[in-house]
């Protein structure tokens, strides 16, 4: 059978024409030739090879943990691994072989030094081994040595010094991978670009403690009775990543700097979201650790189908398209509210909306215990739509009518009522909910 | 009265998944490395991949996987005996119960239709003309596969509506007619022509078609002649058979005389369909007479439970002995113990034989090819669907004597490949 022709997913990233933007991030999933090769064969556009340093780290065991909610695993994932534990020469061999066997795939190599000489040497060696792009790891939160990892990403002086040192060893573009363990990423990112860097990769993992083992009174994973703060990733990290990326893409100095988006990418929709905020390259690890390299198949298929339906001929057509609609809170219109609408044919009478509205919102839903029927009290409803978010039934509660607030909305000497659709009636886009 | 019994004849028995419930079910899937479910689908529909696509919210991609492997994916989602195929193989069974693969497949194909997504692209017909005889699932699949390979396909159907057993056999509770119609439209949209009211061997012959330029033929004519028992009273008014009963109920949306007290004879899925139909279109009482035990009945247990919920009385262990008439009309049926000397007499005004079907003699007029003593066509449908005439291929019930829809889909795919191989060789 003949599938429809798929959309063109190719994208130019720092001068390299990638067949698609999907890449393994520098992590345990891109640690050797075999893994990278299997991912590229599955359809990936490239890889970011696991960080190469000048020494081999001594890793702990166990080293992972994950967070569940209501039985759903991998909401977030904690990992304590550091940089590559393969011998230096073996890594160079992997790189040479990858570039030889996959010349059209984008080979990005992550490096991390502890001083300027290291950074220059690493840059020079991986360039000679075939790197198309270098990623400077300024952000691993679980390094055991000073002046390495996320220490760098939070220190402007080190960022400038190591960016320049890297440039001294290579002529390929370099990308700086940033830590989210700060408030504003624009500051270190600007420093890195001013020092000569070409692109930003964001975000690395978030410093975290996932669980406490209440018998042993320590955090997870337990390493002979002890544990440490380390990097948190996966679905829980995505909203944080999107925030940092939007901020950078809206920064006047950084707005045209290419960004490789990282943080909880698992589905094609996640990919589309990062692209809509301006990313032209996407990296992921946690979804691969949970499900394997095959996740890329549904990214390719799903994104292609969606793009074709939306009429997007290329990634560029929608890249950054959401940025204009993300505005400071003070710029949002606040002169109307959107009431929820309950579909009584679908309502199962569980009362969840009543509970949440009473205990978590504005006591604007009434409960008829005998008939198990809820009703919205429009006098009290503020249009927050918490009910819609907690309702377990598909399309049962949806955004309903839009009303404009009276001009004297706090009732100071006026009897004005809410006016449906007026006085300044216009089209209000209320958002879409598909489940 | 049970919940099911209230359901209308035209109402699908199993409710559909929503996005949220489909995601919940897909999240139960273990996404096994070797996907035993995929290995156990005769038609190669590849549930392992489409469930994974649903899990990653790639719903249209899921539909694409289904359609590229099985053009009748929405039909199979409803009529497949998945509990003995993909779902039986499901690894999740080792934890609790299998993934509801059929319902997920239905979700994906429903989503495809609701969103207007078209996963298959039509291929221009530049190659030879090929004729399908009969328009059941084997011919529809074979025709669609060949059209996708660039052949000019025409399906000839003797009845007024295409679909064969899909339109005249399976009850709407399991397979609503609009689903059949939609998937036939899909097959037509790929370039397949369907000509109804044309019986090959009567209205036209294979020779006529050869003269019209057809270079290869697939016979998927099905089997329609009901098997009857040689007992007294079968000629009485009120005695009918499953082919007649179901085949008139479905095209008329259930507007037939249901019978007041109905006895269905048989223990297969078709017998269950007859019982379901009679209850849903208004019988006062429906009974099933089957000679063996419930455990031995070939009907799928889900269907049997459904029939039981509809309030059908099941009488196991009796074989019919005589249909009793008065003034030429049925008034009762007598049965005797199949394995003992028990006796039974059931008052009734309608008796439906649902003990199987066989090819009628007219099949031999289709083509001068080799038939078995049972009037089925001799062909190896697992291998290549070839008959003893090089340009004639056959498969489906007319070859295997009566199997499942998904088996017919599998055969249709095999036949298409075989026909392509034959025609490519001839073209050289």
Contact A348, A395 (CB under 8 A): no
* Rg of chain B (C-alpha set): 22
- Does residue B238 sit in the same domain as residue B219? no
**Which run of H or E residues covers position B391?**
none
Domain end (from B92, B115, B138)? B115
DSSP codes joined into one string, A91-129: HHHHHHHHHHH-TTSEEEEEE--SSHHHHHHHHHHHHHH
- Residues of A with a Cβ under 8 Å from any B Cβ are 1-5, 72, 266-269, 291, 294-295, 298-299, 301-302, 305-306, 309, 392, 394-395, 434-435
Q: Which two tokens stand for residue A144?
A: 């055991």
pLDDT of A70: 77
Q: How close does chain B come to A262, measured CA to CA in Å?
A: 18
Residue A421 predicted with pLDDT over 60: no
Q: Which two tokens stand for residue A328?
A: 């400071």
Asked if B67 lies within 8 A of A301 by C-beta distance, the reply is no
Q: Residues A320-369: pLDDT tens digits?
A: 999 999 999 999 999 999 999 999 998 988 899 999 999 999 999 999 99
Q: How many residues does chain A have?
A: 435
CA nearest to A377, candidates A356, A363, A393: A363
pLDDT of B362: 84
Q: Strands (DSSP E) along A269-409, which ranges?
A: 279-284, 336-342, 365-368, 373-376, 397-404
Q: Residues of B89-111 as b/e, b for ≥16 C-beta within 10 angstroms?
A: bbbeeeeeebbbbbbbbbbbbbb
Domain end (from B335, B357, B379)? B357
Task: Please state, in angstroms and rounded to a whole number, the distance separating the CA atoms of residues B201 and B215.
Answer: 17
Q: How many residues does chain B have?
A: 428
CA nearest to B405, candidates B180, B67, B165: B165
Q: Residues of B48-82 as b/e, b for ≥16 C-beta within 10 angstroms?
A: bbbbbbbbbbbbbbbbbbbbbbbbbbbbbbbbbbb
Q: Residues of B377-386 as b/e, b for ≥16 C-beta within 10 angstroms?
A: bebebeebbb
Contact A301, A9 (CB under 8 A): no
CA dist list (Å): B342 to B25, B233, B311, B320, B334: 48, 21, 24, 12, 11
Domain end (from B115, B141, B168)? B115
Which residues neighbour B260 within 8 Å (Cβ) at sequence distance 6 or greater? B283, B284, B285, B349, B350
- Does residue B198 sit in the same domain as residue B267? no
Asked if B56 lies within 8 A of A267 by C-beta distance, the reply is yes
Which residues neighbour A324 within 8 Å (Cβ) at sequence distance 6 or greater? none
The SS3 of residue B8 is: coil
Ramachandran area for residue B176 (φ above 0: left; ψ -120 to 50: alpha; else beta):
beta
Task: Please state, in angstroms and rounded to a whole number, the distance separating the CA atoms of residues A139 and A231.
Answer: 10
CA nearest to A177, candidates A283, A311, A334, A264: A283
Q: Residues of B414-428 as b/e, b for ≥16 C-beta within 10 angstroms?
A: bbbebbbebbeeeee
CA nearest to A261, candidates A242, A278, A234, A282: A282
For chain A, which domains are there? 11-325 (3.20.20.70), 333-420 (3.30.70.20)
- Does residue B154 sit in the same domain as residue B266? no
Q: What DSSP state is assigned to residue A3?
A: B
pLDDT of B303: 87
Q: Which residue of B has its CA nearest to A267?
A: B56
Residue A304 predicted with pLDDT over 70: yes
- Between A129-133, A146-150, A170-174, the lowest mean confidence (pLDDT) is in A146-150
pLDDT of A31: 97
pLDDT of A414: 45
- Does residue B136 sit in the same domain as residue B191? yes
| pLDDT confidence band for B129 (50 / 70 / 90) | very high
- Does residue B270 sit in the same domain as residue B292? yes
B108 within domain boundaries: yes
- Does residue B367 sit in the same domain as residue B336? no
Q: Residues A198-234: pLDDT tens digits?
A: 999 999 999 999 999 999 999 999 999 999 999 999 9
Contact B256, B277 (CB under 8 A): no
- Does residue B145 sit in the same domain as residue B183? yes
**Number of domains, chain B:** 3
Residue with tokens 């995505």: A238
Asked if B18 lies within 8 A of A435 by C-beta distance, the reply is yes
- Does residue B262 sit in the same domain as residue B329? yes
List phi, psi (to 5°) of A355.
Answer: -60, -50
Q: Which two tokens stand for residue A315?
A: 């990634």
Positive/negative CA dihedral, A369, A375, A380, A382: positive
Residue B354 predicted with pLDDT over 50: yes
Longest dimension (CA), chain B: 69
- Residues in chain A within 8 Å Cβ distance of B69: 1
Nearest to A302 among B56, B71, B145 (CB): B56
Q: How close does chain B come to A1, measured CA to CA in Å?
A: 5
Q: Which two tokens stand for residue B290?
A: 């089957």
Task: Please state, in angstroms and rounded to a whole number, the distance separating the CA atoms of residues B132 and B366.
Answer: 12
B123 within domain boundaries: no
CA nearest to B121, candidates A267, A2, A44, A378: A2
Q: Which residue of B has its CA nearest to A434?
A: B19
Asked if A302 lies within 8 A of B117 by C-beta distance, the reply is no
Q: How close does chain B come to A295, measured CA to CA in Å?
A: 8
pLDDT of A415: 47
**Exposure of B32 in the CB half-sphere (CA atoms within 13 A):** 18
Task: Please state, in angstroms and rounded to a whole number, the distance separating the CA atoms of residues A399 and A135.
Answer: 44
B410 within domain boundaries: yes
Contact B339, B351 (CB under 8 A): no
A357 in active site: no
Residue A419 predicted with pLDDT over 60: no
Contact B217, B106 (CB under 8 A): no
Q: Residues B393-416: pLDDT tens digits?
A: 999 999 999 889 999 999 999 999
Task: Please state, in angstroms and rounded to a whole number, the distance separating the CA atoms of residues A228 and A141.
Answer: 11
The SS3 of residue A61 is: coil
Strand-pairing partners, residue B287, are B263, B313
pLDDT of A392: 83
B143 within domain boundaries: yes
Q: Which residue of B has its CA nearest to A287?
A: B56
From the centroid of its chain, how far is CA A175?
Answer: 17
- Specify the CATH number for the domain of residue B55: 1.10.1060.10
| pLDDT confidence band for A435 (50 / 70 / 90) | very low
Asked if A1 lies within 8 A of B123 by C-beta distance, the reply is no
- Does residue B256 sit in the same domain as residue B325? yes
Contact B253, B10 (CB under 8 A): yes
Q: How close does chain A come to B68, measured CA to CA in Å?
A: 5
pLDDT of A427: 65
**Average pLDDT over all residues of chain A:** 92
From the centroid of its chain, how far is CA B265?
Answer: 20
Contact A45, A19 (CB under 8 A): yes
**Exposure of A294 in the CB half-sphere (CA atoms within 13 A):** 15
Q: What DSSP state is assigned to residue A405?
A: P
Q: Which two tokens stand for residue A380?
A: 């009290």
- Does residue B284 sit in the same domain as residue B310? yes
- Does residue B215 sit in the same domain as residue B233? no
CA dist list (Å): B392 to A377, B209, B210, B364, B411: 72, 12, 11, 14, 14
Mean pLDDT in residue range B28-46: 93
Q: Which two tokens stand for residue A58?
A: 């001594």
- ipTM for the assembly: 0.76
Percentage above 90 pLDDT, chain A: 83
- Specify the CATH number for the domain of residue B190: 3.50.50.60
Longest dimension (CA), chain A: 80
pLDDT of B2: 42
- Does residue B203 sit in the same domain as residue B276? no
Asked if A298 lies within 8 A of B61 by C-beta distance, the reply is yes
Residue with tokens 């990769």: A201
Task: Return the percent helix, strand and coil in chain A, to nearest 5.
Answer: 30, 25, 45
Rounded to 10 deg, the angle between the B47-55 and B59-69 helix axes is 170
Q: Which domain holds residue B34?
A: 14-115
Which residues neighbour A128 within 8 Å (Cβ) at sequence distance 6 or greater? none
Task: Please state, in angstroms and rounded to a whole number, the distance separating the CA atoms of residues A320 and A265.
Answer: 17
B397 within domain boundaries: yes
Q: Residues B212-257: pLDDT tens digits?
A: 999 999 999 999 899 999 999 999 999 999 999 999 999 999 999 9
**Average pLDDT over all residues of chain B:** 94
Asked if B121 lies within 8 A of A295 by C-beta distance, the reply is no
- Residues in chain A within 8 Å Cβ distance of B57: 267-269, 302
CA nearest to B319, candidates B297, B342, B285, B299: B342
Contact B238, B370 (CB under 8 A): no
**Exposure of A352 in the CB half-sphere (CA atoms within 13 A):** 15
Asked if A302 lies within 8 A of B69 by C-beta distance, the reply is no
Q: Residues B134-183: pLDDT tens digits?
A: 999 999 999 999 999 999 999 999 999 999 999 998 999 899 999 999 99
Nearest to A1 among B27, B53, B148 (CB): B148
From the centroid of its chain, how far is CA B161?
Answer: 15
Pure H helices in B236-300: 242-249, 269-280
Q: Which two tokens stand for residue A334?
A: 């606040």
B236 within domain boundaries: yes
Q: What DSSP state is assigned to residue B300?
A: -
B4 within domain boundaries: no
Q: Which of A36, A136, A140, A391 is catalytic?
A: A140
Q: Residues B275-332: pLDDT tens digits?
A: 999 999 999 999 999 999 999 999 988 889 999 999 999 999 999 999 999 999 999 9
Q: How close does chain B come to A342, measured CA to CA in Å?
A: 17
Asked if B19 lies within 8 A of A2 by C-beta distance, the reply is no
B266 within domain boundaries: yes
Q: Strands (DSSP E) along B95-163, which ranges?
A: 129-133, 152-156
- Residues in chain B within 8 Å Cβ distance of A299: 56
């Amino acid at each position: 059978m003949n599938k429809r022709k798929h959309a063109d997913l190719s994208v130019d990233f720092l001068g390299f024409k990638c067949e698609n933007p999907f890449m393994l991030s520098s992590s345990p999933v891109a640690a050797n030739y075999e893994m990278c090769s299997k991912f590229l064969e599955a359809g990936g556009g490239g890889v970011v090879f696991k960080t190469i340093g000048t020494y081999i780290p001594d890793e702990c065991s166990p080293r992972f943990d994950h967070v569940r909610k209501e039985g759903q695993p991998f909401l977030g994932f904690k990992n304590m691994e550091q940089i590559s534990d393969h011998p230096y020469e073996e890594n160079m061999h992997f790189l040479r072989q990858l570039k030889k066997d996959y010349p059209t795939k984008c080979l990005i190599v992550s490096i991390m030094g502890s001083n300027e000489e290291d950074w220059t040497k690493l840059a020079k060696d991986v360039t000679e081994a075939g790197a198309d792009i270098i990623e400077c790891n300024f952000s691993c939160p679980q390094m055991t040595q000073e002046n390495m990892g996320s220490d760098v990403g939070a220190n402007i002086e080190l960022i400038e010094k190591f960016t320049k040192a890297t440039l001294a060893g290579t002529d390929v573009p370099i990308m700086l991978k940033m830590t989210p363990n700060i408030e504003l990423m624009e500051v270190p990112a600007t420093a890195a670009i001013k020092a000569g860097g070409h692109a930003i990769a964001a975000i690395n993992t978030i410093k975290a403690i996932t669980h406490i083992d209440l018998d042993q009174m320590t955090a997870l994973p337990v390493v002979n009775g002890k544990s440490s703060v380390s990097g948190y990733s996966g679905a829980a990290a995505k909203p944080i990543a999107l925030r940092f990326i939007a901020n950078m893409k809206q920064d006047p100095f950084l707005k045209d700097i290419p960004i490789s988006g990282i943080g909880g990418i698992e589905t094609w929709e996640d990919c589309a979201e990062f692209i809509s905020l301006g990313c032209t390259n996407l990296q992921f690890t946690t979804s691969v650790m949970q499900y394997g390299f095959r996740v890329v198949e549904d990214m390719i298929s799903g994104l292609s189908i969606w793009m074709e339906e939306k009429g997007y001929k290329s990634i560029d057509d929608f890249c950054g398209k959401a940025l204009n609609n993300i505005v400071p809170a003070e710029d949002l219109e606040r002169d109307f509210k959107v009431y929820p609408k309950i579909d009584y044919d679908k309502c199962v009478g569980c009362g969840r909306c009543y509970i949440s509205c009473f205990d978590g919102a504005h006591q604007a839903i009434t409960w008829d215990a005998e008939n198990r029927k809820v009703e919205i009290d429009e006098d009290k409803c503020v249009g927050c739509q918490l009910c819609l978010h907690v309702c377990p039934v598909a399309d049962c509660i949806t955004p309903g009518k839009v009303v404009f607030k009276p001009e004297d909305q706090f009732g100071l000497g006026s009897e004005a009522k809410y006016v449906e659709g007026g006085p300044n009636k216009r089209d209000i886009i209320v958002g879409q909910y598909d489940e | 009265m049970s919940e099911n019994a209230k359901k209308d004849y035209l109402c699908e028995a199993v409710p559909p998944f929503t996005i949220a419930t489909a995601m919940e079910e897909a999240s139960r899937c273990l996404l096994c490395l070797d996907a035993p479910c995929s290995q156990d689908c005769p038609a190669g529909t590849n549930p392992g991949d489409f469930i994974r696509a649903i899990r990653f919210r790639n719903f249209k991609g899921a539909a694409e996987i289904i359609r590229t492997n099985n053009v009748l994916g929405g039909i199979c989602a409803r009529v497949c005996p998945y509990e003995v195929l993909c779902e039986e193989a499901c690894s999740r069974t080792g934890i609790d119960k299998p993934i509801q693969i059929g319902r997920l497949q239905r979700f994906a194909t429903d989503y495809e239709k609701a969103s207007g997504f078209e996963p298959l692209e039509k291929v221009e017909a530049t190659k030879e003309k090929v004729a399908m005889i009969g328009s059941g699932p084997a011919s529809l699949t074979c025709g669609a596969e060949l059209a996708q390979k660039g052949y000019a396909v025409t399906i000839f159907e003797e009845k007024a509506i295409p679909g064969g057993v899909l339109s005249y056999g399976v009850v709407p509770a399991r397979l609503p007619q609009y689903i059949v119609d939609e998937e036939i439209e899909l097959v037509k949209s790929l370039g397949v022509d369907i000509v109804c009211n044309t019986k090959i061997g009567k209205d036209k012959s294979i020779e006529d078609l050869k003269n019209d330029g057809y270079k290869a033929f697939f016979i998927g004519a099905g089997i329609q002649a009901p098997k009857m028992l040689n007992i007294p009273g079968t000629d009485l008014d009120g005695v009918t058979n499953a082919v007649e009963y179901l085949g008139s109920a479905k095209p008329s949306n259930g507007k037939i005389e249901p019978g007041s007290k109905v006895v269905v004879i048989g223990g297969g899925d078709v017998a269950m369909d007859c019982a379901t139909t009679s209850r849903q279109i208004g019988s006062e009482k429906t009974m099933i007479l089957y000679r063996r035990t419930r455990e031995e009945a070939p009907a799928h247990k889900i269907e049997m439970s459904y029939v039981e919920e509809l309030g059908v009385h099941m009488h196991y262990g009796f074989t019919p002995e005589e249909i009793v008439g008065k003034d030429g009309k049925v008034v009762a049926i007598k049965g005797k113990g199949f394995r003992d000397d028990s006796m039974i007499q059931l008052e009734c005004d309608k008796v439906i034989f649902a003990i199987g079907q066989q090819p009628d003699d007219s099949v031999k007029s289709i083509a001068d090819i080799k038939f078995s003593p049972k009037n089925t066509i001799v062909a190896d449908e697992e291998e290549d669907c070839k008959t003893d005439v090089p340009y004639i291929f056959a498969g489906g019930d007319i070859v295997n004597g009566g199997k499942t829809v998904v088996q017919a889909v599998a055969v249709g795919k095999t036949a298409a490949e075989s026909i392509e191989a034959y025609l490519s060789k001839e073209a050289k």
